[in-house]
C-alpha cells in the first residue's frame, strides 16, 4: 500500500467529523428532512450490517488492508463494497436530516467520500488480486463496485464465513452508537429551534 493510500485508509473513521460538525452547526432541519434523511441513513446501516454480518470484525482494521476470506456472500454478492456504500448513505442521510447548507454541503461531502473510497478501494482491490488472484478477478468482473445489483453473484465454491448477525451487531456497535448520538443531537437541536 502506498503511503498516501495508507494514510487515507487509517484515517477513514475520522474524515466524517468535519462534515458532521458543519451539519450540526448549520442545521435547518424540518420534519420532512428528518424523516427522509433518517430513511436514507437507515438504508446505509442496512448495507453496513448485512456486510459486517458476513465479513465480521475484520472490517474494523485500521493498520493495513487484509482479508481472511474472499467474501462473496450476502451483501457482497450484490456489490463489492457494501460497507462503503452504507457509510456514504449514512452520511448523506444525516446531511439530509440536518438540512445544513442544503444541498451544497451534502454534495461536497458525497464527492469527498466517493474520492476517499476510490483511493481505499483501489488499494484493497490490489491486495485482493494479489491474495486471491483469478477468483477475485472473476468476482470483480461480475459484481458492481458501489451500486447494488439485483442479481446475486453465484459463488463458484469459494469458502465463506457464515452469516453471523450476533457478531455483526457486536462489530457494528460503535457505528450504531455514533449514529444514534448524532441523530439525537439533530433531533434535539430541531426541537429546541
Residue spans of the domains in the chain: they are 3-11+29-192
Q: What is the structure's pLDDT at 10?
A: 87
Q: What is the structure's pLDDT at 63?
A: 56
pLDDT over 90 at 52, yes or no = yes
| CB-CB contact of 13 with 60 (8 Å) | no
Name the pLDDT band for 87 (thresholds 50, 70, 90): very high
Number of continuous H segments (helices) and E segments (strands) in the chain: 7, 0
> How far is residue 76's CA from residue 129's CA, in Å, rounded to a whole number?
16
Tell me: the pLDDT tens digits for 136-149? 999 999 999 999 99
Tell me: the pLDDT tens digits for 54-69? 998 776 555 566 678 9
> How far is residue 100's CA from residue 122's CA, in Å, rounded to a whole number?
31
| CB-CB contact of 90 with 16 (8 Å) | no
Average pLDDT value for the chain: 93
Q: What is the structure's pLDDT at 62?
A: 52
Quote the percentage of the chain above a pLDDT of 90. Answer: 84
Q: What is the structure's pLDDT at 177?
A: 96
Q: Which of 160, 178, 164 is nearest to 94 (CA)?
A: 178
Q: Which of 149, 152, 129 is nearest to 140 (CA)?
A: 129
Amino acid at each position: 500500500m502506498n503511503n498516501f493510500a495508507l494514510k487515507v485508509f487509517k484515517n477513514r473513521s475520522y474524515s466524517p467529523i468535519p462534515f458532521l460538525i458543519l451539519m450540526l452547526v448549520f442545521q435547518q432541519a424540518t420534519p420532512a428532512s428528518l424523516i427522509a434523511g433518517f430513511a436514507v441513513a437507515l438504508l446505509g446501516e442496512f448495507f453496513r450490517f448485512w456486510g459486517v454480518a458476513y465479513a465480521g470484525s475484520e472490517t474494523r482494521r485500521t493498520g493495513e488492508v487484509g482479508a481472511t476470506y474472499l467474501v462473496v456472500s450476502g451483501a457482497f454478492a450484490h456489490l463489492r463494497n457494501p460497507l462503503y456504500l452504507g457509510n456514504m448513505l449514512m452520511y448523506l442521510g444525516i446531511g439530509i436530516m440536518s438540512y445544513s447548507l442544503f444541498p451544497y454541503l451534502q454534495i461536497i461531502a458525497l464527492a469527498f467520500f466517493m474520492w476517499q473510497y476510490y483511493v481505499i478501494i483501489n488499494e484493497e482491490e490490489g491486495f485482493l488480486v494479489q491474495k486471491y488472484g483469478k477468483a477475485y478477478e472473476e468476482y470483480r468482473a461480475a459484481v458492481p463496485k458501489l451500486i447494488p445489483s439485483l442479481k446475486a453473484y453465484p459463488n463458484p465454491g469459494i469458502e465463506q464465513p457464515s452469516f453471523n448477525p450476533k457478531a455483526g451487531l457486536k462489530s457494528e456497535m460503535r457505528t450504531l452508537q455514533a449514529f444514534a448520538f448524532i441523530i439525537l443531537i439533530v433531533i434535539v437541536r430541531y426541537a429546541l429551534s
